[in-house]
Amino acid sequence: MARSKSSPRWLQEHFADPFVKKAQAEGMRSRAAYKLEELIERDRLLKPGMVVVDLGAAPGGWSQVVRRDLGDKGRVIALDILDMPPIAGVEFIHGDFREDGPLSQLESLLGGKPVDLVLSDMAPNMTGVDTVDQARAMYLSELARDFAEGHLKVGGNFLIKLFQGEGFDAYVKDLRTRYDKLVIRKPAASRRRSNEVYALALGKRRGSTK
């Protein structure tokens, strides 16, 4: 069973984590920011003027990194079921990605224009029951994949956090049919014991299947 985030052992490990300390020192909202930093640098994901959608954005670490690296050019739209304090230059939608309302808001902000990069660091609230948590995580992953399918431009990229387990292999296999290239990454800031990895799908194909 997963450890509670209020357990003394978890808290001790969390505050001793070098990426937590680095985030606090550098004013980043989460240690997850350094996962994205590594992937952006390694795979050259950002270019000036891009439109980027950040799904599951709270507390905002990924949006911070993207907004900073894009500078004054480009657009960042973030969405999360949790509230997120404002970040200058980031448009935020507070709502549940599984519901039609927030998705409609997001589509309205896009105004029919295609997206260059979709990011998803979404994860369900963990129960500690592996089969339940994995099923919930895969459901969110499928929603993110379908959003990217409908809104990414041809040639656009999709980066998503996945949890290895039931449904993982089939999901990755499906992504390979939709994009020119797919790689699996495990950033240094991702805890070794975690079964999370990041799937980076590059070059959305024209007319890829849903």
Q: Which of 5, 153, 161, 210 is catalytic?
A: 161
Residues annotated within the binding site for S-adenosyl-L-methionine are 60, 62, 80, 96, 121
Known catalytic membership, residue 22:
no
Question: 76 CB contacts (<8 Å, ≥6 apart)?
Answer: 52, 54, 63, 66, 67, 70, 89, 90, 91
Q: How far is Cα 54 from Cα 51, in angstroms, rounded to an integer?
A: 10
Spatial contact of 155 and 203, defined as CB atoms under 8 Å apart: yes
Q: Which residues of 179-202 are buried (b: 16+ CB within 10 A; e: fewer)?
A: beebeeeebebbeeeeebbbbbbb
Which sequence positions are flagged as catalytic?
Answer: 161
